[in-house]
Amino acid sequence: MNFNHTDQQGVLKKDFYERNALNLTLTQNFLDNDLKLTLNSKGILDENSFADQGAIGAAVAFDPTQSVFDPTSPFDGFFEFRGGDTTDDEFRQATRNPLALLLQRDNNAKNKRNISNLNVDYRFSFLPELRFNLNAGFDYAELSGYETRPITSAANNQSVRFENFYEGINRNTLLDFYFNYKNDLDAIDTKLDLTAGHSYQEFFINSKSRTTQNNSLVANPVSINRNSLESYFARASFDISNRYLISASYRRDGSSRFSEDNRWSSFPSVSIGWKIMNESFMENSNVFSNLKLRAGYGITGNQEIGPNYGYLGIYTPSQRGANVQFGNTFVNTLRPEEFDENLKWEELKTTNVGLDFGIFNNRFSGSVDAYYRETKDLLATVPVPAGANLSDLLTTNVGETVSRGIEVGLDAAIIQREDFNWNVNYNISFQDLEITALSLGNDPNFFIPQGGIGGGVGNNIQIWKEGFDPTTFFVYRQVYNNEGQPIEGAYVDVNGDNQITEADRQAYKKATPDYFMGLTNTINYKNLDFSFTFRGNFGNYVYNNTQSGNGFVGAGTVTPQAYYANLNANVLESNFEAAQLFSDYYIRSADFVRLDNVSLGYLFPGDVVDVRASLTGTNLFVITDYEGLDPEIGNGIDNNFYPRTRNVVLGLNLSF
Amino acid sequence: MYRNFKPVMILFLSTILLWSCQDDLELKPEDNRETSATVFDNPDSYREFTAKLYAGLSLSGQQGPSGNADLQGLDEGFSNYMRLFFKLQELTTDEAVIGWNDGTIKDLHSQTWTSGNEFIRTMYSRLLYQIALTNEFLRQTTDAKLDGRGVSGDLKSEIAEYRAEARFLRALSYYHAMDLFGNPPFVTEEDPIGAFLPPQIKRADLFSYIEGELLAIESTIVPARQNEYGRADQAAVWMLLSKLYLNAEVYTGQGRYTDVITYTTKVIQAGYSIPDVPYQYLFLADNDTNGAQEEVIFPITFDGLNTQAYGGMTFMIHASIGGSMDPADFGVSSGWAGLRTTQQFVDLFPGGAESEDKRAIFYTDGQKKEIDNISVFTDGYAVAKFKNVDINGEQGSDSTGEFPDTDFPMFRLADAYLMYAEAVLRGGGGSTGQAVTYINELKERAYGDSSGNITASDLTLDFIINERGRELYWEAQRRTDLIRFNLFTENGVWAFKGGVPQGTTTASFRNIMPIPASDLV
């Protein structure tokens, strides 16, 4: 039994999270320990308060010369740009006061969750090598929340308090079982391990809400989503003379997200290992303490896509406010949704070879791995050519990618004494990812716009194109004057037609790092322990959307109503008058090294209880040339990024 | 111990059996969504699907005003058909400028757009989306499908009407696509639904296709003025044919003015009238009942409570209010301070904003006639033509003042009159005397008496283009008209055309909008 309490204040005011969890485990043995039942149940009660994240963008764009408060303001004393003294007089176009956005909105939710799992493990008494294992699990969560904004908030355009009541159920159920047969076949010096089984999983989500619309509380339609997965699997492993390892597996997976024709797919894999260390010729090695060669080939499947019924033509009825006048009546509308009846499993074929080694009694050890991965029928939601389907975006099998990489991990015990140890761990990964085919168009010039940005409407800054990394940016090449100053609107006329058109936009740089590494040092001296980890990415670029979106004169001054907005300070460097959203000027190197973690601990041993006190800091500093808030942004588009926290934790651990 | 365990074991084994026997991977929606296999079990579905085709012009999704968008890659409000169509047809001309800073919106008026222009791209997506919707309706309502569902009798003949309207709406969007983009992609109900790159069609071939479609439904669609308000009828088909033929020379190089006379005459003789109510009534909240509807051949309907969107009329009314204008006078809660007009357009009216011509509905208080800075709302007269108040000045049905009731008159009789007169001048036959009579009917409504009337000698092509501006401004006609008169690019100058304050001419390739690069291979 175990009880846990956590609470955490977020970076934004009103972002707050509190968790109480109770964990219960019951184990019971029957039949002379041949049958073991384990029940594990965890109850979790989360209480969340969510901040209005729109405040981040508002804080970036809000006129910094205005004071936060205004005693004459009808908006609870918060300054807002307005044309009069009533709560209807805010300038709708203006940037809202970010503090008011945070403080005038309440959004609280409660999440009650139970995760339970019953495990049955049975050893057949007549055949002890055979085991039966069964898991029945469920994960059930009930969410309910309430969001509100008063009439006195400038972000509430209605003449009543804005309210949003929401609730939902999230339920996952799992049932799997397998038979396992393990035997040592001494006659041929082989250890045998066979497994075969079946698994079924179901995911169910039900949500509903009521929201203030046109001054009255309106019930939104209930949304129900269900999907399920079923698998049959088998695996055979052979360990021959503790030298040669051979393993093969086969699974057949079915997903409710695909049509009957494409529902089931088979995923085989094989792997071999050679424990060179155990060969007789290595017996007398003074250098090596471990040496093992591994290789494998396998196919796995992916069906993790947003929509559950993406292969079916679905019709959605309209809600209030979206009806059409025929004569004197207003008719509900019925919309056919986009679909791809040929939707199928994405397949990842991975080939890998690896070497594990240890020398000088494993004081120095490590591994080297190389992989080559082909992804076929990649599943993604992408813009579909206009007219071909029933929306502008479609979840479909878009093409193929190839990724290659080498990963090296090294461990060294630099000092090994009775009361003083110093371990160093270093890892580095090189990677290369490339789109090799796009199924929508065979033309090598065909591309799919990706990577939505702020500024304008529906603009993208990245492309998917054959031969390029999927996070490649798609930009105009900025022209600079002799002083190195970008010349506004002057771009390289790549195709030489004497005008700057879309045809001059080029694939340029990417957000994926070429390589990344980590370095961890762990030092123990008597009861004192100290460790720190550095982590770094190299060769990755970021599109600085906070600069491109606000770093031009017009962003602050060309406003439809009588207000100013704040500029990004980069305007002082670029001197741009108007937005230059697609200039490669904003593609910036985002190499970084981060001190991820430092931890200092001391153990006070006791007779009854051991006490360990620790001080841990995470995300302590970042070394980078990148000018934005944080260089580590997954998709490479820096736009109103929710700031990464820096945590310092003081911990006390009691062990009885 | 074994005894106790036995029931548990049995329970588990039976659970497994139960679960594995079920066909658990065959899942269908369980909320208000339905599959195409079951949705048509409800006979109302055909009417509701048809309503969606009309909603394609007025709304942006399945929840008013926003929240369940048709097009997901774009800001929902911006993706509205009428809003985009208005922007491309009006902002590119002398009739309208916008002060906003949204992306490349100002490139429309300065005619400096590229194929990356998001408004052009979004219009393109929306047009093809509307075409895909109508294609799907036609696929789902073939005789074979209807027979398979056992549809017969009244429902079947009702569906036949819907099919004719679907083909009309598809022809309308293809007409817009042909007019704006020249050679757009071409998909019909014969194509599959999937992820492929539809081939482009040549403008002249698309012209023939649209003409063939309209002629094919001419006799099957509901007769003129017999359909429910808001739905298209035979006169809407004739009106679209007239427009197609009037611009035929632009699209195919071949004039079809005799056909314009034929089809505008059919429209004119169908029983519509220029009612004896002020011009402004056409653009008010109650324009479906205040008498003005007698003139309207095909409206795009809006309603403050039932048909809500951030595009369409909501955009046109809110965005045209700024400066010292009181939103309450327009029946709305706020102004979005964007749209005005150029000084050149104001001067089309004799006497400018103070014209005897009552169609000159400008707001001038605090506004400067000349535009020095497009971004400043008070530069340029505001246009007070569209309002969300009824003839008594009462606000429309939405008490929050956000969404208007005002319907947009897509096709109306005055346009048929003007097209007839233009076809006469361009050698299509007809009667000059009749043309003058028609024009004077419009003039008398505009002036309240015959003081603005013209004679046969006044009836020139120059007069027609200006009169079309005066009668039909902000009704999403201007770009097409100016191109037909070769005044859109190489000729014709107005403030900030070409990106300079005094205006300059531009290159003729801008008579056609660019197709987004990602759809061109």
- Name the residue facing B125 among A340, A386, A390 (closest C-beta): A386
Q: Do B12 and A222 touch (CB under 8 A)?
A: no
Write down the pLDDT at residue A564.
87
For residue A337, the Cα-to-chain-centroid distance in whole angstroms is 27
Q: Do A331 and B51 touch (CB under 8 A)?
A: yes
Burial of B428 by CB count in 10 Å (0-12 exposed, 13-18 middle, 19+ buried)?
Answer: buried
Whether the per-residue pLDDT at B2 is higher than 50: the answer is no
- Please compute Rg for chain A using Cα positions: 30
B65 domain-assigned = yes
Q: Do B517 and A309 touch (CB under 8 A)?
A: no
State the smallest CA–CA distance between residue A436 and chain B in angstroms. 18
The beta-strand segments (E) located in A360-455 are 364-383, 393-416, 420-438, 447-452
Q: Do A322 and B101 touch (CB under 8 A)?
A: no
Whether the per-residue pLDDT at A436 is higher than 90: the answer is yes
Residue carrying structure tokens 């049975």:
A122
Would you place residue B521 in the very low, low, confident or very high pLDDT band (cuts 50, 70, 90)? low
What is the mean pLDDT of the segment spanning B319-326? 92
How many other β-carbons are positioned within 10 Å of the β-carbon of residue A304?
Answer: 9
What is the mean pLDDT of the segment spanning B473-477? 98
Q: List, for residues A104-150, the tens digit of each pLDDT value.
A: 999 999 999 999 999 999 998 888 889 999 999 999 999 999 999 99
Whether the per-residue pLDDT at B13 is higher than 70: the answer is no
- Say if strands A244-255 and A264-274 run parallel, antiparallel, or are unpaired: antiparallel
Whether the per-residue pLDDT at B1 is higher than 50: the answer is no
Whether the per-residue pLDDT at B225 is higher than 50: the answer is yes
Write down the pLDDT at residue B14.
56
What is the mean pLDDT of the segment spanning A393-416? 94
**What is d(CA A260, CA A251) in angstroms, rounded to the nearest whole number?**
18
B155 domain-assigned = yes
Whether the per-residue pLDDT at A181 is higher than 80: the answer is yes
Interface of A with B in 519-558 (CB under 8 A): 554-555, 558
B245 domain-assigned = no
Q: Do A392 and B74 touch (CB under 8 A)?
A: yes
Nearest CA in chain B to A35: B5
**What is d(CA B196, CA A443) in angstroms, rounded to the nearest whole number?**
12
Cα–Cα–Cα angle for A377, A378, A381, rounded to 5 degrees? 120
What mean pLDDT, rounded, does chain B reach? 93
Q: Do B193 and A313 touch (CB under 8 A)?
A: yes
Q: List, for residues B140-153, the tens digit of each pLDDT value.
A: 999 999 999 999 99
**Cα atoms in the Cβ-side hemisphere of radius 13 Å centred on B49:** 29
Nearest CA in chain A to B337: A560
B461 domain-assigned = no
> Which of B11 and B101 is assigned the larger pLDDT?
B101
What is the mean pLDDT of the segment spanning A31-47? 90
Q: Do B306 and A330 touch (CB under 8 A)?
A: yes
Nearest CA in chain B to A198: B20
Q: Which residues of A touch B194 (CB under 8 A)?
A: 340-342, 388-389
Interchain CB contact of A218 with B (< 8 Å): no
For residue A58, the Cα-to-chain-centroid distance in whole angstroms is 25
Q: Check: CB of residue A450 under 8 Å from CB of residue A382.
A: yes
State the smallest CA–CA distance between residue A533 and chain B in angstroms. 40
Q: Check: CB of residue A536 under 8 Å from CB of residue A619.
A: no
Q: Which residues of B touch A340 (CB under 8 A)?
A: 194-195
Whether the per-residue pLDDT at B20 is higher than 70: the answer is no
Whether the per-residue pLDDT at A458 is higher than 80: the answer is no
Q: List, for residues A511-535, the tens digit of each pLDDT value.
A: 999 999 999 999 999 999 999 999 9
**What is d(CA B172, CA A432) in angstroms, rounded to the nearest whole number?**
49
A–B CB contacts, 8 A cutoff, strictly below:
338
The residues, ordered by sequence, that sit 6+ positions from B6 with a Cβ below 8 Å of its Cβ are: none
Q: List, for residues A63-102, the tens digit of each pLDDT value.
A: 999 999 999 999 999 999 988 888 888 887 789 999 999 9
B353 domain-assigned = no
User: Which percentage of chain A shows pLDDT scores above 90?
Assistant: 67
Interchain CB contact of A83 with B (< 8 Å): no
Q: Do A200 and B193 touch (CB under 8 A)?
A: no
Q: Do A392 and B99 touch (CB under 8 A)?
A: no
Q: Do B337 and A561 touch (CB under 8 A)?
A: yes
Nearest CA in chain B to A581: B103
Q: List, for residues A291-330, the tens digit of each pLDDT value.
A: 999 999 999 999 988 788 999 999 999 988 899 999 999 9
User: Which percentage of chain A shows pLDDT scores above 70?
Assistant: 100
Q: Check: CB of residue B422 under 8 Å from CB of residue B267.
A: no
State the smallest CA–CA distance between residue A448 and chain B in angstroms. 6
What is the number of H-type helices and E-type strands within chain B?
Answer: 18, 7
- Interface-testing mutation among A324, A329, A460, A491, with chain B (most B C-beta atoms within 10 A): A324
What is the mean pLDDT of the segment spanning B296-317? 95
CATH classification of the domain holding B59: 1.25.40.390
Q: Domain range spanning residue B215?
A: 42-221+488-512
State the smallest CA–CA distance between residue B271 and chain A in angstroms. 18
Interchain CB contact of A256 with B (< 8 Å): yes
> Which of A214 and B343 is assigned the larger pLDDT?
B343
Q: Do B399 and A324 touch (CB under 8 A)?
A: no
Structurally, how many domains does chain B consist of? 1
Q: Do B518 and A315 touch (CB under 8 A)?
A: no
The residues, ordered by sequence, that sit 6+ positions from A179 with a Cβ below 8 Å of its Cβ are: A130, A131, A132, A133, A195, A196, A197
Whether the per-residue pLDDT at B380 is higher than 60: the answer is yes
What is the mean pLDDT of the segment spanning B290-311? 95
Q: Which residues of A touch B28 (CB under 8 A)?
A: 309, 312
What is the mean pLDDT of the segment spanning A626-649? 87
Interchain CB contact of A309 with B (< 8 Å): yes
Q: What letter represents residue A135's amino acid?
A: N
Write down the pLDDT at residue A438.
87
- Name the residue facing A35 among B5, B39, B103 (closest C-beta): B5
**What is d(CA B426, CA B248) in angstroms, rounded to the nearest whole number?**
12
Write down the pLDDT at residue B5.
47
- Say if strands B382-383 and B339-340 run parallel, antiparallel, or are unpaired: unpaired
Interface of A with B in 438-457 (CB under 8 A): 439-441, 443, 445-449, 452, 455-457
What is the mean pLDDT of the segment spanning A619-636? 92
B85 domain-assigned = yes
B170 domain-assigned = yes
Q: What are phi and psi of A583, to 5 degrees?
A: -80, 140
Q: List, for residues A243-293, the tens digit of each pLDDT value.
A: 999 999 999 999 999 999 999 999 999 999 999 988 888 888 888 889 999
- Interface-testing mutation among B84, B193, B373, B513, with chain A (most A C-beta atoms within 10 A): B193
Would you place residue A502 in the very low, low, confident or very high pLDDT band (cuts 50, 70, 90)? confident
Would you place residue B469 in the very low, low, confident or very high pLDDT band (cuts 50, 70, 90)? very high
Would you place residue B10 in the very low, low, confident or very high pLDDT band (cuts 50, 70, 90)? low
Q: Do A214 and B103 touch (CB under 8 A)?
A: no
Q: Which residues of A touch B124 (CB under 8 A)?
A: 386
Q: Which residues of B touch A159 (CB under 8 A)?
A: 399-400
B454 domain-assigned = no
Whether the per-residue pLDDT at B18 is higher than 70: the answer is no
Whether the per-residue pLDDT at A640 is higher than 50: the answer is yes
Q: Check: CB of residue B414 under 8 Å from CB of residue B442.
A: yes
Cα–Cα–Cα angle for A339, A342, A345, rounded to 5 degrees? 110
Q: What is the DSSP letter of A101?
A: H
